[in-house]
Amino acid sequence: MSLRSIFTPRQTPPIGVEFSEDGLRLVQVTTPGSDEIRRAAFVPFAPDGAVDVSELRKVLRGFRGRQAAIAPPRGDLTIRPARLPRLENQELREAARWEAAGLLELDAADVVAEPLIVSDGVDADGLAEMLIVAGSVTTIESRLEPLLQAGLRPIGVEPAFVGAGRAFTLRSRRSNEQDRIRVVVDVADSESWIVVTRGDRIVFAKRSEVGGSTFDAELGSALGIDDSMARRTRCESDRRDLEPEVLAELRTAVRRVAGPLGDEVGMAVRYVTVAARLGRPEYLHLCGEAGSSPGLVEILSAAVPGIPVGQDELVSSRLREGCDDGSAPLAWATAFGLSLRPSFDTGKVAA
């Protein structure tokens, strides 16, 4: 199935499907344009790491329709900055595909790419700043195959950070809020993404190598336990009160290794404020599997003084109400954002 022609209009909201660390997260809202979650479900991967097609079929019986917006494993997509002419529709995608093939040194015939325009205008050469989201058609179609077997019909493939950023545009739906700038820090297990939005548009995105596994390695070293036990300990901090001594060690471990993430967030804020002249962000929202790790708020608050840092209550409340499976509610932000994906529009992000 080609990835280049899978966009169709719809009346039923899509199912947001994220390939997370341990399984698939699925979220669907009640109606198009709604932010109320109708259903959420988690499908763990089989012991060999594959998608369990039969289990996914069972879970899908509780969802309406079968159209899905999908975020593949984070390592399957590469994001690169580029400057390209502001061509129209398919011409721009074709230019992005060839640009990506050159940047990634891949066969252009096996590259799918989508340009994410992050500047309103063009420079003196008629070029606009963009982020190119690219991946191997072969790899991505192999990810989609078990989902297709289970009955899902993909309408779009997006990086996880796009879903995470979209989840926090709920407060930017009115016309007078379209200039508000927010920073979303999506802290996953293996990495983090810093996303800056202006209204409902992404204007900046950058990857950081700091993630939950970084915190786990540091905590494991401090307590003399392996990384898997450290991860369980960190995840338990979302679900129950830890012993004060253990919580203190966890907080200290996060603070020790989260400094580079704070530095990168600070640079992102300076870029959009000074270099891009978009204005200073009003909020910084945390999300992701490790986004509620103790000590993280303090590190990021120090990096962006004067900007409130924390969990957005509107998004958090929606996730708590609709995704009560015992995991951290913020771990569902990406799948939630994917489920809010609008009908295909050439002016919006799509891949």
* pLDDT at position 131: 85
The torsion angle over the Cα atoms of residues 47, 49, 16 and 154, rounded to 10 degrees, is: -120
User: Would the pTM of this model clear 0.85, i.e. be above it?
Assistant: yes
DSSP character at residue 258: -
Q: How confident is the model at residue 171 (pLDDT cuts 50, 70, 90)?
A: low
* 126 compared with 248, residue with greater pLDDT: 248
Supply the CATH classification number for the domain 3-74+139-168+319-339.
3.30.420.40
User: How confident is the model at residue 175, as a pLDDT?
Assistant: 66
Q: Starting at the edge strand that comes first in sequence, how are the strands of the sheet with 37-44 ordered?
A: 37-44, 23-29, 15-19, 67-71, 153-157
Q: Give the tokens for residue 323.
A: 């995704």
Token pair for 165? 């950023």
Interstrand relation of 201-208 and 192-198 (parallel, antiparallel or unpaired): antiparallel
- What per-residue confidence (pLDDT) applies to 1? 38
pLDDT of residue 283: 93
Among 206, 209, 196, 212, smallest CA distance to 289 is for 212
Per CATH, the homologous superfamily of domain 177-311 is: ATPase, nucleotide binding domain (3.30.420.40)
Of 62-66, 87-91, 287-291, 299-303, the least confident: 87-91
Where residue 91 falls among pLDDT bands split at 50, 70, 90?
A: confident
CA distance 319 to 328: 9
Q: What is the pLDDT of residue 201?
A: 85
Do the first three CATH levels of 3-74+139-168+319-339 and 177-311 match, i.e. the same topology?
yes
333 near 319, Cβ under 8 Å? yes
Q: Where are the domains of the chain?
A: 3-74+139-168+319-339, 80-132, 177-311
**Tokens 């790419």 — which residue?**
113
pLDDT one-digit tens code per residue, 183-237: 999 999 999 999 999 888 888 899 999 999 999 999 999 999 999 999 999 988 8
For residues 219, 224, 227, 230, the Cα torsion angle rounded to the nearest 10 degrees is -50
